[in-house]
Structure 1
């Protein structure tokens, strides 16, 4: 397993600053084996970015371009494709000097070679929940922020951005996990589908002020179906897994039950909010091996009631080893 720790400044005031930010997380993704596809039209340099004009107000996040990344299985399982779309968002002054860089992503089973996901894929909603920081106009234009990317290069990728919401950040910091399904007994990865934990209100209406709510999705490869927050048969099974870090924290595993029961993913766990200090790392045993996680400040998910539905009773901790 490989975790890459880096920093970036998520702004897009010029071609150069936008490319600096995109290439910073791109280098992390490359380092852990979450590489670019050969799809045409991707952002690959500063020259491939066009900063929007300020002649008229930007009413919503405005697209800069995209990258398509993938996890390829050494066992012949289907490739996981993730499309990362980059946007700019201004402050109320609406000048290029205030542009922040935002990120949205969609996940699927195929691509047409020109940036369009094919096969089975998640929706790409254009609301605040799918972007990098929900209160983007208040984000510092000068403060660099930490991020962590973990992957084995073929079965999962975990992106934890700014876990302590540093330097004035607020709202949802756009961390996410996508991981192949696991056999519930052995933990062996299977070809049945992908599990996803992400920010969003995929199927539940919510105001933009409702920050930090995380939900789940499951892609069934066999059934060519995506199930979202309201209809995934999923739960956090068992009582808990006690962490072995300096602090006593209870880590709750997260499983999907679509289309059949699957074992907990290892890309993320839920932890009780009352003891979930942002930035705290915890270690617990998963499938016979110790796994370390980092708790993200803005990411809230469910540990009660047996679902991926939103809750203020837990936070999400992302893989960090």
Structure 2
């Protein structure tokens, strides 16, 4: 291993998914397809919401923030994963590794925060509809988005500096597809308990707070929905909520599994842990534009309008 300043390696070696080396080329196909859906699906949602003034509402503005977060999050890991799987390009320079680490952790925190913001929007819209426009005005939406973004950036800003200040041991091989904080910390020498404790505390605090508040929001929402006098209104609200809850469950279940495995699941096979760690960063960005977008009536109508105009234009040009 070549060291820079006798402290850290010039490059890290990302192994991919240990134990599945022979099938990584085949695994790249579903990963690539999911990335394409996630990337272009979120781009489409952003384009539609920006172009349609009727969608400039708190829910869709929060969804736009979530879409931008998803694009950055999946793009920070999937291109490198595909390079490993297709071309065996396993090297990643030290600074790029730190950048990737920071993006992954900070934007994951942002995603969690935007889920909470969207849950709160649904809570106000269903439980207190008359005050929805007053509570969630444009300034409030902007301040919420800014707060979620700054929280993710500031809490995880120390991670790269922590790693850069540590001394690494004899290996620079990371048995993973991307630079995850705890995976990199395992390569360091000496006592890193304080650094690990900081990372653990921040992750638990943000995750637990967002999950608790999101759960409370949907609990109140469901209680209100089941108390509605008309069944049609109740079914409409419940349909929207179940879609949101499904995405949130996928996000938190995979993130909690990844988090717990890194710290306590030493007996779990690496291929299982790393596969789920990648799913955790890819499935929610892929599902969000499908569930939040396609299943939302206003967005669905806008997509159909665009497709209809394109088909009419093609017919006119053909005739």
TM-score by length of 1: 0.25
More helix by share: 2
The structure whose Rg is larger is 2
More strand by share: 1
